[in-house]
Chains A and B, each alone.
Chain A
Amino acid sequence: MSQSQGAPASPTQSRNKKSLLVSDPPKFDLESYLANYKGRTRLERLILIGTCSSFLGVDALKLAVKEAKKGKDVKRYLEAQSHLETIGPQEREATRDRAWMDTTEKQNQAETQRLEAELKGYKNNLIKESIRMGNEDLGNHYQAIGDLPRAFDSFSRMRQDVSMSKHIIDISKHIIEVAIEQKNWVAVSSNVQKIKGVMGPPEEDPTLQPYLCATDGLALMDIGEYYNAALRFLETEAGMGTSSNTIVSPNDIAVYGGLCALATMERNELHTQVLENSNFRTYLELEPHIRRAITFFVNSRYSACLGILEAYRTDYWLDIHLQKHIDDLYHLVRSKSIVQYFIPFSCVTLDSLNAAFMPAGKTIDKELAMMIQRKDLEARIDTQNRLLTSVPSTPRSALQANTLETAKEYEREARRRIQQMNIVAADLEIKGGKRALAGIDDMFDDGRQLRSMKPQDQARNPHHIGGFQ
């Protein structure tokens, strides 16, 4: 589902798309996982798990079909049902319930008409508050039946009739919710800013700050700004509870924040900003393995840290927001671990690196070469003695080389400036816009023919030896 959004931005992602089917059992329990969420995101998550996990697929899709039938979204129902039909045709839920579909669709249409008529009435009466509420109802309805673009429009129209700052917050929250489902992250961040502009002191609504951090963090994570995303998640104040559960759960904050931080922050930063962060601690307690992974990293036990992350890779592949990024994030953590591992040494055998970072039987050579090429790692590989050696730093000769380069650059630039001034002084610069390119220089074309001519021809063509005649 989420994979269909946009083209994959990197080769790793396209590979991910192909092997989207995850066969390993995840660590979470489906029922309790689902209990963390409310609203349409439940269905979306179930369908994602259903289509991506061969282990939970049937169970998830069965739940999804049931969930869908509780609601009014016929398209979503069809999506879940048709997937289930392909992977588990023997299930009772796999058969298409045409009767339910027909009645629901009819009801939906009737409801749409009713709400639109009501809204029209309000508009005729010019009662601002009623128009606003009419739009809100219509938006909610469109959202429920899965017509997201119209829901987005309806919610946006509410803005014309706001009368207090709480309304603005409400509108933005609605839009954020729809936009997240649409993966329209630009709208998410702009609405987060809008809320920030009008929100009052935190005592008014203690759940608002965590909500904003979470949504803004998601938007940043999605465009790949992991460091800023990490900062945003880490700022999240305690006490989110279930207030944002139509989008994310507190557990997700811990996972997203922890992983983004692990991928982008230095060891000191991890220590002060993550482990000693009293707000974030309440979230980390929900996901103790993330906390353990970070602690291992800070204590330089990289293979243990990577081991934990690897164990949870399946879970994160099945997360609606992480799926696209988990490979990138893991890759960053890995590269950082290798760099950190190598720092205290001047020379490491490739075998010890293999032992620390690679599963048995695989070698790290290619990865190291890539990292050196991208300048992530300042080292050289010796394929003959199977060593990774650090590059000795030579500040003196580096400075000297730098000086020479600067001198050369100055010389070149100065000479060219003198040259240009003198060209202008000799009245030789090219003038007149009209003749640009049109005035092809005859002499020059003569000169060009010369290149292809043989010397003996030129003897017969003394005309070409310009100045000497």
Chain B
Amino acid sequence: MDNLLPNLLSFPPHPPPPNPMSDHAYDSGIRDQIDYVKKLSDSKLLQQTSGGENVLDVINPALNTVPYTFILLANLSALNKNAKGIDMEKIWGKSITFLGTFDPRQMRYLGDQLSSIIDAVASIAMSKRQPWAAIAPIRDALLRLDPTGSMLTTTHLALVKLALDTRTYSPIVPVIEKFILYFPGTSNQPKPKYICDMNLNPTQFITPASGLTQKFKYQEVLEYFLYSGMVFIGLNKWELALQCLENAVTYPAKEGSVSKIMAEAYKKWVLVGLLHEGRLLSLPRSTSSNAAKQYHTLAKPYETLAQIFESGTASRLKAEADQGVTVWRNDCNTGLVLHVLAAYQQFQIRNLANIYSKISIPEIVSQTMSAETGSKLQSPQAGEALVQGMINRGELHATMSSSPGHPSIVTFAVGGPVLTEADMQRVLGAATERIHTLTKEIKQTDRMLTHDKDYIKFIQKQKKNAKQGGLVDQGISGADMNMDWGDAVEDEDIMSNLY
């Protein structure tokens, strides 16, 4: 092994050269090294150093990711064959450290290998009867590879499924809270010159060809949205859940087709909407009209429940919920419906804040009803506890004061929480920042669309036509995107120039 080491560690040069390597040099360097390491047999890679150390202890995965990857893989396959001298716990520990520390730039060249390591980690965790233990390392690996998290990969889907199976929700939040903008499988795109270019968009280096993801079917994309929505439901994060479910609900569909997954997502979306805003939300504008029609027939019981929640009484809501018990159960939504029932009285109390500035607990108890029991609360104490809980959770902007011998009094803050000037500046600044980032994504999408092979062919044809005496298309607007891109891109009626 000792004679191999200098070669294994030859790339990237250490210490780093004073002038960073050009992308060209980096690209050829790493390709040479991968070719070299690939040729080595597993047995050579498994050799120990002369000092009797495991090579995995010698090589730094953050610096020399390439050799480390192959040696780790060799170890893993040896583990699979039950070769002796391989300690599972040790390999497990090494794999986890590796997933949390590898160099993402080098890893772009090692897609297949990374996928194998991730699979191996998942199966080791499974064999240890601790499947959830794999979640955090895989999550770290995904975020290291693509810190924007805007690209969906098959690993994402597998991760969410694993989280749902093991009911381990919070660790994957950093992955699923990222808004998915890009999907693998975009064909007709020009290949980037060097995938080590750090300014590349994730769509350009995470491709099915790179091995970092596989191709998707639309069902799988929908599953990802639905499942990540379900994870947020499990965490009671209604706003994020709504967002995920909305991705599924508004999924583009041609020729009036609707997937069952979309309908399932819609059902949950209606209930979560009640929990978040207390009303039946109107469908996002981009929902396809045919899907909307299908939703209304398929999710009738849910919409009825929502309407009663909005304008009916507690007892009617309870009756409706009892009536639909089998529906909720068949759709696996019983838990959500129970949440909705529990939320009813809280929304009533919040509505009182729009009418009263100060009110006593017994008055609250007499004016609101619990939908869980269909009647008023038993005692002022129960009401006090409920209001106290809502204030503590920040759901009600109010203060409660009590004096001995008198009922407690709730004072609602008029107009909700008021941000200080500095806070407001910060929030506004953050919003501006986000929109700037978004503008970049818009440019990126526009670039992708304008570089689509079909589109370029079309433009060429147009140019030819223009030469024969016609209008010149001025459609390529990638350079100077303005903010109302929606109109600029979509209303650019390319068909009108066809003749």
Q: What's the Cα separation between A440 and B259 when bound, in Å? A: 7
How many chain-B residues does the 8 Å CB contact rule pick out? 91
Tell whether A447 is near chain B: CB-to-CB under 8 Å.
yes
- Residue ID in chain A nearest B221 by CB atoms: A428
Q: What's the Cα separation between A415 and B244 when bound, in Å? A: 12
**Quick one: which of B128-182 are within 8 Å of A by CB?**
129, 131, 134, 154-155, 157-158, 161-162, 164-167, 179-182
Which residues in A have their C-beta under 8 angstroms from that of B256?
433, 436
Least CB distance from B407 to A in Å reads 10
Tell whether B477 is near chain A: CB-to-CB under 8 Å.
no
Tell whether A429 is near chain B: CB-to-CB under 8 Å.
yes
Of B183, B226, B243, which one neighbours A423 at CB under 8 angstroms?
B183
Contact assessment for A397 and B259 in the assembled complex, using a CB-CB cutoff below 8 Å:
no
**Interface pairs (11), CB distance under 8 Å:** A381-B356, A407-B435, A415-B181, A426-B187, A444-B260, A451-B230, A458-B166, A464-B161, A465-B158, A466-B158, A468-B162
Q: Spell out A's residues near B (CB within 8 Å).
A: 369, 372-373, 380-385, 387, 389, 391-392, 394, 397, 400, 403-404, 407-408, 410-433, 435-437, 439-441, 443-444, 447-448, 450-453, 455, 458-459, 462, 464-469
Secondary structure at chain B's binding surface: helix, strand, loop or mixed? Answer: helix
Contact assessment for B442 and A414 in the assembled complex, using a CB-CB cutoff below 8 Å:
yes
- Residue ID in chain B nearest A443 by CB atoms: B219
Which residues in A have their C-beta under 8 angstroms from that of B304?
none
Of A412, A451, A462, A468, which one neighbours B164 at CB under 8 angstroms?
A451
The 7 closest A-B CB pairs, nearest first, are A467-B158, A468-B122, A380-B357, A430-B253, A436-B257, A426-B183, A382-B358
Tell whether B415 is near chain A: CB-to-CB under 8 Å.
yes
Secondary structure at chain A's binding surface: helix, strand, loop or mixed? Answer: helix
Least CB distance from A463 to B in Å reads 11
Of B251, B257, B442, which one neighbours A433 at CB under 8 angstroms?
B257
Contact assessment for A425 and B448 in the assembled complex, using a CB-CB cutoff below 8 Å:
yes
Contact assessment for B161 and A465 in the assembled complex, using a CB-CB cutoff below 8 Å:
yes
Contact with A along B386-403 (1 / 0, CB 8 A): 000000000000000000
Of B183, B184, B286, B419, which one neighbours A416 at CB under 8 angstroms?
B286
Q: What's the Cα separation between A418 and B182 when bound, in Å? A: 8
Q: Provided the pairs A400-B428, A429-B253 are in contact, do residues A443 and B223 lie with their beta carbons within 8 angstroms? A: yes
Which residues in B have their C-beta under 8 angstroms from that of A452?
332
Q: What's the Cα separation between A432 and B247 when bound, in Å? A: 20
Of A385, A422, A432, which one neighbours B181 at CB under 8 angstroms?
A422
Which residues in B have their C-beta under 8 angstroms from that of A439?
259
Contact assessment for A423 and B157 in the assembled complex, using a CB-CB cutoff below 8 Å:
no
Least CB distance from B432 to A in Å reads 8
**Quick one: which of B426-451 are within 8 Å of A by CB?**
427-428, 431-432, 434-435, 438, 441-442, 445, 448-449
Contact assessment for B412 and A380 in the assembled complex, using a CB-CB cutoff below 8 Å:
yes
Tell whether B216 is near chain A: CB-to-CB under 8 Å.
yes
Q: Provided the pairs A392-B414, A443-B223 are in contact, do residues A420 and B419 lie with their beta carbons within 8 angstroms? A: no
Contact assessment for B158 and A468 in the assembled complex, using a CB-CB cutoff below 8 Å:
yes
Which residues in B have their C-beta under 8 angstroms from that of A423?
183, 221, 251-252
Least CB distance from B148 to A in Å reads 12
Least CB distance from A15 to B in Å reads 19
Tell whether B492 is near chain A: CB-to-CB under 8 Å.
no
Which residues in A have their C-beta under 8 angstroms from that of B161?
447, 450, 464-467
Tell whether B113 is near chain A: CB-to-CB under 8 Å.
no
Q: What's the Cα separation between A427 and B184 when bound, in Å? A: 10
Contact assessment for B354 and A428 in the assembled complex, using a CB-CB cutoff below 8 Å:
no
Which residues in A have their C-beta under 8 angstroms from that of B358?
382-385
Which residues in A have their C-beta under 8 angstroms from that of B264?
444
Q: Provided the pairs A380-B414, A392-B414, A455-B165 are in contact, do residues A415 and B438 lie with their beta carbons within 8 angstroms? A: yes
Q: Provided the pairs A381-B356, A415-B181, A419-B181 are in contact, do residues A397 and B415 lie with their beta carbons within 8 angstroms? A: yes
Which residues in A have their C-beta under 8 angstroms from that of B96?
none
Of A397, A411, A465, which one neighbours B418 at CB under 8 angstroms?
A397
Contact assessment for B252 and A382 in the assembled complex, using a CB-CB cutoff below 8 Å:
no
Q: Provided the pairs A429-B253, A430-B253 are in contact, do residues A384 and B409 lie with their beta carbons within 8 angstroms? A: yes
Which residues in A have their C-beta under 8 angstroms from that of B419?
397, 400
Contact assessment for A430 and B122 in the assembled complex, using a CB-CB cutoff below 8 Å:
no
Q: Spell out B's residues near A (CB within 8 Å).
A: 118-119, 122-123, 126, 129, 131, 134, 154-155, 157-158, 161-162, 164-167, 179-187, 216-223, 226-227, 230, 243, 246-247, 250-261, 263-264, 284-286, 294, 332, 351, 354-360, 363, 409, 412, 414-415, 418-419, 424, 427-428, 431-432, 434-435, 438, 441-442, 445, 448-449, 452, 485-486
Contact assessment for B449 and A430 in the assembled complex, using a CB-CB cutoff below 8 Å:
no
Least CB distance from B79 to A in Å reads 16
Contact assessment for A467 and B252 in the assembled complex, using a CB-CB cutoff below 8 Å:
no
Contact assessment for A425 and B157 in the assembled complex, using a CB-CB cutoff below 8 Å:
no
Of A387, A415, A428, A431, which one neighbours B185 at CB under 8 angstroms?
A428
Contact assessment for B261 and A444 in the assembled complex, using a CB-CB cutoff below 8 Å:
yes
Contact assessment for A430 and B218 in the assembled complex, using a CB-CB cutoff below 8 Å:
yes
Q: Provided the pairs A404-B428, A411-B435, A466-B158 are in contact, do residues A430 and B183 lie with their beta carbons within 8 angstroms? A: no
Contact assessment for A411 and B434 in the assembled complex, using a CB-CB cutoff below 8 Å:
yes
Contact assessment for A441 and B360 in the assembled complex, using a CB-CB cutoff below 8 Å:
no
Q: What's the Cα separation between A394 and B415 when bound, in Å? A: 9
Least CB distance from A292 to B in Å reads 35
Q: Provided the pairs A391-B414, A415-B438 are in contact, do residues A465 and B445 lie with their beta carbons within 8 angstroms? A: no
Contact assessment for B155 and A467 in the assembled complex, using a CB-CB cutoff below 8 Å:
yes
- Residue ID in chain B nearest A408 by CB atoms: B431
Which residues in B have their C-beta under 8 angstroms from that of A394?
415, 418
Contact assessment for A427 and B185 in the assembled complex, using a CB-CB cutoff below 8 Å:
yes
Contact assessment for A425 and B449 in the assembled complex, using a CB-CB cutoff below 8 Å:
yes
- Residue ID in chain A nearest B185 by CB atoms: A426
Which residues in A have their C-beta under 8 angstroms from that of B250?
416, 420
Contact assessment for B167 and A455 in the assembled complex, using a CB-CB cutoff below 8 Å:
yes
Q: What's the Cα separation between A385 and B452 when bound, in Å? A: 70
Contact assessment for B332 and A448 in the assembled complex, using a CB-CB cutoff below 8 Å:
yes
Contact assessment for B260 and A441 in the assembled complex, using a CB-CB cutoff below 8 Å:
yes
Known: A407-B432, A433-B257, A437-B260. 12 other contacts (CB 8 A): A389-B357, A413-B285, A413-B486, A415-B441, A427-B187, A428-B217, A431-B255, A444-B223, A453-B165, A459-B129, A466-B158, A468-B126
Q: Provided the pairs A389-B357, A465-B162 are in contact, do residues A421 and B119 lie with their beta carbons within 8 angstroms? A: no
Which residues in A have their C-beta under 8 angstroms from that of B119?
467-469
Q: What's the Cα separation between A465 and B164 when bound, in Å? A: 10
Q: What's the Cα separation between A25 and B457 when bound, in Å? A: 90
Contact assessment for A384 and B424 in the assembled complex, using a CB-CB cutoff below 8 Å:
no
Q: What's the Cα separation between A469 and B116 when bound, in Å? A: 10
Contact assessment for A426 and B216 in the assembled complex, using a CB-CB cutoff below 8 Å:
yes
Q: What's the Cα separation between A381 and B353 when bound, in Å? A: 10
Which residues in A have their C-beta under 8 angstroms from that of B418?
394, 397
Contact assessment for B445 and A421 in the assembled complex, using a CB-CB cutoff below 8 Å:
yes
Contact assessment for A424 and B126 in the assembled complex, using a CB-CB cutoff below 8 Å:
no
Least CB distance from A365 to B in Å reads 10
Contact assessment for A429 and B359 in the assembled complex, using a CB-CB cutoff below 8 Å:
no
Least CB distance from A403 to B in Å reads 7
Which residues in A have their C-beta under 8 angstroms from that of B227?
447
Of A414, A430, A453, which one neighbours B257 at CB under 8 angstroms?
A430
Q: What's the Cα separation between A450 and B255 when bound, in Å? A: 32
Least CB distance from B195 to A in Å reads 19
Contact assessment for B355 and A380 in the assembled complex, using a CB-CB cutoff below 8 Å:
yes
Q: What's the Cα separation between A421 and B359 when bound, in Å? A: 51
Of A382, A383, A428, A433, which one neighbours B183 at CB under 8 angstroms?
A428
- Residue ID in chain B nearest A456 by CB atoms: B129
Contact assessment for A428 and B218 in the assembled complex, using a CB-CB cutoff below 8 Å:
yes
Which residues in B have their C-beta under 8 angstroms from that of A420?
250-252, 286
Q: What's the Cα separation between A425 and B217 when bound, in Å? A: 13
Least CB distance from B207 to A in Å reads 11
Least CB distance from A444 to B in Å reads 5
